[in-house]
Amino acid sequence: MRALGLVASPEALAAPDYHPPHAGDLAVTGRRGKSVVILGAGIAGLASAYELAKAGYRCTILEAKDRVGGRNWTVRGGTTLTDLDGRTQTARFGRDQYMNAGPARLPQSHLTLDYCRELGVPIEPFINQNANALIYNERTGAPVQQARTAKADVYGYVSELLAKALDQGSLDSRLSGEDKDRVLTFLSGFGAIGSKADGYAYTGTDRRGYTVEPGAAGEAGTVLGPPPSLTDVFAGQVGRYVSFEFGYDQAMMMFQPVGGMDGVPMALYRAVGADKVRLGAEITKLTNLPGGVEVAYKDKYGKSQLVKADYCIATLPPHIMARIPTNLDPAIASALGFPTVTPVGKIGLEYSRRWWEEDDRIYGGITETDTDLAHVWYPSYGFHGKRGVVIGYYNTGGSANTYGALTPESRLERALAQGAKIHGEKYKQGLLSSFSVAWQRTPFIEGGWVGWPSRTSGQYDLLNKPAGRVYFAGDWLSYFIAWQAGAFDSARYAVTGLHQRVLAGG
Ligand code: PHE
């Protein structure tokens, strides 16, 4: 029977690893797949339907937008957006040009890559760190410099300081003589500092870069130098961002789907079946009944509709879900209103020339700034092509609100003025088109992501349990918020709980 797929493997439901629902699980208990209505066709909603379908559950997804994917949204030529302020934009990007307005990078450890593999979504490297990208600290007045230069100076001076302290015996209570030697050997390589005879001084090396590159015959190159003083390096705060790449989920290698991040939801959509998804369906009421659920919605023609199902998986953002009338315990609505919402913005700038590659030799990666642009991303696709889309800002919080409050034209103007401080006047030249998103002003989403003021005060646990026949899922119910992997894993969690309940006769 197991060979025929009619029996669950005994360890299937007990193992901590994920085991997708299987038709055999139901067959062995003599039960049939139930019907499930899923609210939201973002990653959590699509993944829930995809996983449940593996065991033959009948799913219907209700999605308020006219597309699937939620925040996983790739903007291409012709893509339109009307925001909550009634501002409509239509992207004019050229062929093969796009911007990932939401998620845009995938760490190697994340479940999202497993889904890419399973669904056949091709991936390519995403360049998250680039030694040739820039550091721009406006507030300290430090000169614009390559990340490699900032790193060389910060690691160099820190190594010098520590080597001197060791040499002077300041850390003798902590280190044996052998330890000291080993740490000094490490520092010599890490910081490229001088020898004991040189007082372990950091004086700069070619790690900082060159003003004239080495070449043939007599051209030995001219090293960029000397480094600014230790005081200036730290006063300039150029090291403010260099530890970013140590982050567990921000370290290279990183990946992106070839052709746009929406390759992920589109593959899920195809797998689930377009006939299972009702687009333009705005939920108006959710009723939990003793034997099922009832969801009322307004369809794309404005007509009231009702769906009945055995169960519901609600994957809307919590702050949106909190507003939908339900007959659930009021504690649920209050818990849904508990997370705080982070505003997030991005602008795509399409240029007729890849000046960042041609002039600045920046092939992908991110320039870090302390301005309201926050991060400037160079594309990790289309190298040496004719055009390219730079992400002119990727910001959060107050900066995202500043740009979000502006018209798309004013956002562009401000982003160009700010970017020109880093890249010069060419930043304003050869611009073909632009498109910006302020997630907090985007209908049915209204935020970039959320944060829990506390995960131990009850609300998080409450929503990770079913409320009657209603399950909740989304990145916001995981420990990796603002990552698709969180949405995938949360969907798996809800699906597993639901399936176990059905197997148990619930
Ligand atoms: N996942 C998003 C990103 O990569 C948001 C995020 C940033 C999450 C940094 C965690 C850390 O930009």
Tell me: the pLDDT tens digits for 289-327?
999 999 999 999 999 999 999 999 999 999 999 999 999
Atom of ligand 1 nearest to the CA of 483: 1
Q: What is the mean pLDDT of residues 212-219?
A: 98
- pLDDT score of 463 more than 60: yes
Atom of ligand 1 nearest to the CA of 449: 5
Which single residue is written with the structure tokens 């702050």? 319
**pLDDT 10s digits, 83-104:** 999 999 999 999 999 999 999 9
Confidence bin at 506 (pLDDT 50/70/90) = confident
Q: How far is the CA of 44 from the centre of ligand 1 (A)?
A: 18
Q: How far is the CA of 388 from the centre of ligand 1 (A)?
A: 23
Confidence bin at 7 (pLDDT 50/70/90) = low
The Cα–Cα gap between 27 and 55 comes to 10
Q: Percent of the chain having pLDDT more than 90?
A: 94
Handedness of CA 481, 482, 487, 489 (dihedral sign): negative
List the residue whose alpha carbon is closest to atom 9 of ligand 1: 250
Name the average pLDDT for the chain. 96
Provide the 8-state DSSP code for 69.
B
- Comparing C-alpha atoms, which of 337, 368, 338 is closest to residue 148? 368
* Helix runs in 203-290, H state only: 230-235, 263-272
pLDDT of residue 207: 98
Atom of ligand 1 nearest to the CA of 394: 12
Q: What is the mean pLDDT of residues 474-503?
A: 98
Q: What is the mean pLDDT of residues 401-411?
A: 98
The Cα–Cα gap between 453 and 262 comes to 30
Confidence bin at 30 (pLDDT 50/70/90) = confident
Taking only Cα atoms into account, the Rg of the chain, rounded to an integer number of angstroms, comes to 27
Atom of ligand 1 nearest to the CA of 481: 8
Pairing of strands 58-63, 277-279: parallel
List the residue whose alpha carbon is closest to atom 4 of ligand 1: 105
Q: How far is the CA of 483 from the centre of ligand 1 (A)?
A: 7
- Comparing C-alpha atoms, which of 180, 136, 59, 27 is closest to residue 367? 136
- Comparing C-alpha atoms, which of 268, 256, 323, 381 is closest to residue 64? 323
- Burial tier of 15 (Cβ tally within 10 Å: 0-12, 13-18, 19+): exposed
pLDDT of residue 8: 59
pLDDT of residue 12: 46
Which single residue is written with the structure tokens 């902590």? 174
**pLDDT 10s digits, 239-272:** 988 899 999 999 999 999 999 999 999 999 999 9
Where do the DSSP E strands lie in 220-327?
222-223, 254-257, 277-279, 282-289, 292-298, 304-309, 311-314
List the residue whose alpha carbon is closest to atom 10 of ligand 1: 482
The three-class DSSP label of residue 48 is: helix
- pLDDT score of 474 more than 60: yes
Q: What is the mean pLDDT of residues 126-130?
A: 98
Confidence bin at 32 (pLDDT 50/70/90) = confident
Q: What is the mean pLDDT of residues 138-163?
A: 97
**pLDDT 10s digits, 36-75:** 999 999 999 999 999 999 999 999 999 999 999 999 999 9
Atom of ligand 1 nearest to the CA of 448: 5
Q: How far is the CA of 482 from the centre of ligand 1 (A)?
A: 6
C-alpha pair distances (Å), 169 with each of 173, 185, 503: 8, 16, 67
Q: How far is the CA of 119 from the centre of ligand 1 (A)?
A: 24
Q: What is the mean pLDDT of residues 438-445?
A: 98
Q: How far is the CA of 127 from the centre of ligand 1 (A)?
A: 14
List the residue whose alpha carbon is closest to atom 6 of ligand 1: 482
Q: How far is the CA of 447 from the centre of ligand 1 (A)?
A: 14
Q: How far is the CA of 485 from the centre of ligand 1 (A)?
A: 12
Q: How far is the CA of 128 from the centre of ligand 1 (A)?
A: 11
Q: How far is the CA of 103 from the centre of ligand 1 (A)?
A: 8
Order of all β-strands in the sheet with 123-126: 106-107, 254-257, 123-126
Q: What is the mean pLDDT of residues 217-231?
A: 97
Pocket test for ligand 1, best of 108, 437, 483 (most atoms within 8 A of CB): 483
Q: How far is the CA of 105 from the centre of ligand 1 (A)?
A: 8
Pocket test for ligand 1, best of 72, 129, 249 (most atoms within 8 A of CB): 249
* Structure tokens given for 56: 């033959």
Confidence bin at 449 (pLDDT 50/70/90) = very high
Where do the DSSP E strands lie in 31-83?
35-39, 58-63, 74-75, 80-82
Confidence bin at 469 (pLDDT 50/70/90) = very high
pLDDT of residue 10: 52
The Cα–Cα gap between 407 and 409 comes to 5
List the residue whose alpha carbon is closest to atom 7 of ligand 1: 482
Find the residues whose C-beta lies inside 6 A of ligand 1: 105, 482-483
Confidence bin at 185 (pLDDT 50/70/90) = very high
Q: How far is the CA of 107 from the centre of ligand 1 (A)?
A: 10
Q: What is the longest distance spanned by two Cα atoms in the chain?
A: 86
List the residue whose alpha carbon is closest to atom 5 of ligand 1: 482
- pLDDT score of 13 more than 50: no
Q: What is the mean pLDDT of residues 194-215?
A: 97
**pLDDT 10s digits, 335-382:** 999 999 999 999 999 999 999 999 999 999 999 999 999 999 999 999
pLDDT of residue 414: 98
CB 106 within 8 Å of CB 112: yes
CB 494 within 8 Å of CB 39: no
pLDDT of residue 379: 99
Confidence bin at 114 (pLDDT 50/70/90) = very high
List the residue whose alpha carbon is closest to atom 8 of ligand 1: 482
